[in-house]
Amino acid sequence: MSGPQIGDAIPAVKLLDADGATIDVAAMKGAPLVVYFYPKADTPGCTIEAQDFTRLAPEFAHLNAQVLAVSRDAPAKLCKFRDKYGLTVRLASDEDGAVCEAFGTWVEKQNYGRSYMGIERSTFLFGADGKLAKEWRKVRVKGHAEAVLEAAKAL
Question: What positions carry a catalytic annotation?
Answer: 46
Render the burial of 46-67: b for 16+ CB within 10 Å, e for the rest. bbebbbbbbebbeebeeeebbb
Residue 85: partners with Cβ closer than 8 Å, 6 or more residues away? 47, 50, 51, 54
Coil/strand/helix, residue 11: coil
Q: Characterize the bridge pairing of strands 33-37 and 122-126.
A: antiparallel
Query: Which phi and psi (to 5°) does residue 99 adopt?
Result: -75, -40
Coil/strand/helix, residue 55: helix
Coil/strand/helix, residue 109: strand
The 8-class DSSP code of residue 75 comes to H
Q: Are 68 and 25 in contact (CB under 8 A)?
A: yes
